[in-house]
Structure 1
Amino acid sequence: MSSLTSRQQQVLDYLRTHIERHGVPPSTHELMAAFGWRSPNAVTKHLQALTDKGLISARAHKARSLRVLPSGGGEATAPRLQVAATNDDAVWLPLVGRVAAGEPILADARIERQIAVDRWLFRPQPDFLLRVQGDSMIDDGILDGDLIAGKTTPEAEHGQTVIARVGEGITIKRLYHRGQTVRLLPRNPAYATIAPDPHEDFAIEGVYCGLLRPGDGH
């Protein structure tokens, strides 16, 4: 792959950032405004150049149909959300496998596959899917084997269902946060509340957006 010009790298970075933040690629007019271009031809020219270098794919080089390819941009990571080229109402979400201690939840090595879902299915729009293990959240209708959709964030409000890192693993629980007190509450009386030890690895990785159930076509 040939090297990028500085402007081509800026365009590629902008595409990634826009997709990560909004779940869709920028429109032609948004690209024109972002880079001060006066003509759609400039958009076409830059999308063509990135396509020729194997960094993006697009239908007739239209901005809204493009997706950034996983190998695009060398060491930079691919966007978490991609628009299906054949369905403008779909987004591709990475299904995260087992997460090792200290590893980012979206580490490339832990992504099992991408799953296309209707972009209007969840609010807020999620960044990933995670398979539920166990029945600690059954009173909230979250069952063993479900795929929950999560929005990546290090912060959450009291009462939200969160995806949290505790010690060696990832867990899904209700967040209790009052003053300096933080607890992770199960929604099954057979399970105990988790009180994170200040000396162990603990972090909010994301908030719950909804779920998909095996048998629903996934």
Structure 2
Amino acid sequence: METLGHRIKRLRTALNLRPAELARLIGVPPQYIDNWENRGHRPSSRYGALLAQALGITEEELFTGRKPTNHDELSKLTVTELLQKAAQATAALPGYEVRRFPLLGEIAAGDPFEAEPAETMPVATHVPRGTPDNCYFLRVQGDSMLGDGIISGDLVLLDPNTDLERMNEKDIYAILLNENEVTLKRIRRVGGVMWMVGSNPKIAPIPLTDDQHGQARVLGRLIKLERYYS
């Protein structure tokens, strides 16, 4: 008897989609696809609807295996067309939608490093409706935020609508220093000094001196993490 995981893998393969591509279509980390296909995890009702739509079947077909779909036609769809189908699915889900945001460069999760101009490319992701249009992705380098599950190669979606004075100690921020150094950290205020703090105990906190404070700028607040596997 075919399991749910085997069914998801069979349908994905019929569409010539890699796990990372399917994950991108429905707005989840690729680990979710691995969990569903290989580890016996069951998608929630929300992700089940997105998954079924991306695979071109109904939710009942996805979860029960009844009424198999003709995948010869679906396999002819491009990834863009599949993304449009996933977007149509999210339209029926209150509060969420598939959006594209630009990937603008890299950011250090470790010691700050010099920022360099980068080519932009759009990344599709699943976000709450009302997410600001000017959000964008940066790619992480380093492991100072390892305690938060953020590793090198991850993409972080940033909301740039904040500043130094409005930063809290709960969220994670991308901070630009000296006009050309960027880093990803939480902040702590101790004795009148603002510190940039990672979640890896091997990485020392970085004080934001008075001189640096005047030149520092918040690039954005982290609102979502994406991870893709080749």
Of structures 1 and 2, the one with the larger relative CO (CA 8 A, separation 6+) is: 2
